[in-house]
A and B are shown apart, each in its own frame.
Chain A
């Protein structure tokens, strides 16, 4: 029976100093990595440790949270059904000019999930085929879930998107 701590130990053993931080709370473990090692870590989890499922991708804005060196994190929730264990990989994103490599070619769900992270936090995913807004409308200015976006700010919507057909055509 593999636990999350075992997974964290394996990842740390394999990637060494590429792991910027590890975190444990109530049996749940996660590692924080730089954008450059994200794909390698996720592929290691998928191919070596049986984490077939990418359950969720979400952003977090740590502006004013604490003294960490990066502002954003993109959080990947992984699940291994074979070993019945979860794991979390977090990418440290220094600021909005830092790009994160896309993983949509590894998991198709990342296409929409990364669009949502971009929509809400303005984090750019390098290599994403269709990085458009997904929940907010195309005319929306700013990124709504950033801590410096006021919750009371309203924006107008004047027209719906013209063409949304690029979904299947650019994904193999």
Chain B
């Protein structure tokens, strides 16, 4: 060391910004999200997000297959609450065709969609908490999710990708005793929510980790079209089930939870309360579910019964025409929006009158919700970015399509 340095003068530490990648295969991103951040110490001073790692060409594929064949693809969008996507897709097709599903099928859609919302929120809260070191809640939430998957298996034969609804109704009626099983599982929900909320909602560590972290203000929500729980946590009083009711949601009594802070804590609390409201809706739907068929009986849109197909020429031709030539909606365009687990799920269909959509544009809630993310983590710590990311609940399947 030279003579000069032995004096009292202290050399400053290197202050260059450090650029690091988080993801696309990082455990905390829960999917294939890539984030590049510039760090000053542990503080994020600049952030950029890159998406598309799970892009599978959903919209292109949807143009190449018949309307009813798109149903299973839609469930690969938000795979945390799959059945809501396919319910919404069938509803969009019905609007385009100008038909209405029977009342019993609609009630079954409400029940399955709300079950999907509960598991979506359960996974979101559970994994978000595990990112912050609260492993217990993860087990409670996943354990509960398992019960709902069992219900779905009993109803449809599949657990996750259920392919349950059809254009014009649902594929299967609820088996004997299923609605009572749903009621029992709903009774357990109150207990699970009570336990998890008891562990976190007034937990000092959780509050310190989440309050004031990743704040989406109302203005930012409007700028970025943030919808769903993230917007409601920012004081946006908007839920399509209330504002533009579909599937008879106006018949059910439930509340739209609103918080004002817009931070990670508020989003978690909104989700807790939404699960509670979903439970209320499901119980009312079970109480008021009507009897009758679960598919429309107009065989221009739905397959005829098997005995007609096997025993009559007309039935066989009907079946053949539907399978080979598909359902033919009018030459028109339509935007259909429903309230998915993460916000507004919209399908914009342009039809040329043929059996395939000319154009299917999906408006996935996560795309808008994630676009705000680089902004809300700038100026925060890396650990806070992880907490905020979990609370926005980005599902790569619908983000990248």
Interface residues of A (CB under 8 A from B): 23, 25-26, 28, 30, 52-56, 58-61, 65, 75, 77, 81, 84, 86, 88, 107-109, 111-113, 120, 133-137, 144-145, 149, 151, 160-161, 163-169, 171
Given known A25-B333, A26-B334, contact A136–B55 (CB-CB < 8 A): yes
Give complex CA distance A61, B352 in Å.
12
- A86, B335: Cβ atoms under 8 Å? yes
- B64, A151: Cβ atoms under 8 Å? yes
- A164, B50: Cβ atoms under 8 Å? yes
Given known A109-B223, A166-B48, A168-B48, contact A56–B371 (CB-CB < 8 A): no
Give complex CA distance A144, B222 in Å.
30
Give complex CA distance A53, B297 in Å.
39
Residues on B with C-beta less than 8 A from A77 are 335, 346, 348, 363
Give complex CA distance A77, B60 in Å.
20
**Can you identify 8 A-B contacts, CB atoms within 8 angstroms?**
A53-B225, A56-B225, A65-B352, A84-B244, A88-B335, A151-B64, A165-B38, A169-B46
- B344, A55: Cβ atoms under 8 Å? yes
Give complex CA distance A61, B358 in Å.
9
Interface residues of B (CB under 8 A from A): 19, 34, 36, 38, 46-52, 55, 57, 59-61, 63-64, 95, 98, 220, 222-225, 227, 236, 238, 243-244, 332-335, 337, 344, 346, 348, 350, 352, 358-359, 361, 363, 367-368, 371-372, 374-375, 378, 400-401
Of the residues A54, A84, A88, A164, contact of B48 by C-beta under 8 Å: A164
- B352, A112: Cβ atoms under 8 Å? no
Given known A55-B225, A164-B49, contact A151–B333 (CB-CB < 8 A): no
Of the residues A54, A144, A145, A165, contact of B47 by C-beta under 8 Å: A165
- The 6 closest A-B CB pairs, nearest first, are A58-B361, A167-B48, A56-B363, A135-B52, A164-B48, A108-B223
Name the prevailing secondary structure of the B interface residues: mixed
Tell me the nearest residue of chain A to B243, going by C-beta. Answer: A84
Give complex CA distance A164, B46 in Å.
10
- B359, A60: Cβ atoms under 8 Å? yes
Given known A52-B222, A54-B225, A108-B223, contact A165–B48 (CB-CB < 8 A): yes
- A75, B348: Cβ atoms under 8 Å? yes
Give complex CA distance A144, B63 in Å.
12
Give complex CA distance A167, B371 in Å.
9
- B34, A25: Cβ atoms under 8 Å? no
Residues on A with C-beta less than 8 A from B225 are 53-56, 107, 109
- Since A107-B222, A133-B52 are in contact, a sample of 17 more A-B pairs with Cβ atoms closer than 8 Å, ordered by chain A residue number, is A26-B95, A26-B332, A52-B222, A55-B363, A56-B225, A77-B363, A84-B243, A107-B223, A108-B224, A109-B223, A109-B224, A109-B368, A111-B371, A135-B52, A167-B49, A168-B48, A169-B46
Give complex CA distance A53, B335 in Å.
15
Closest Cβ–Cβ distance, residue A38 to chain B (whole Å): 18
Residues on B with C-beta less than 8 A from A161 are 50
Residues on A with C-beta less than 8 A from B378 are 168
Given known A26-B95, A81-B238, A164-B50, contact A135–B223 (CB-CB < 8 A): no
Closest Cβ–Cβ distance, residue A135 to chain B (whole Å): 4
Tell me the nearest residue of chain A to B61, going by C-beta. Answer: A151
- A55, B346: Cβ atoms under 8 Å? yes
Residues on A with C-beta less than 8 A from B48 are 163-168
Give complex CA distance A165, B49 in Å.
7
Tell me the nearest residue of chain A to B335, going by C-beta. Answer: A77
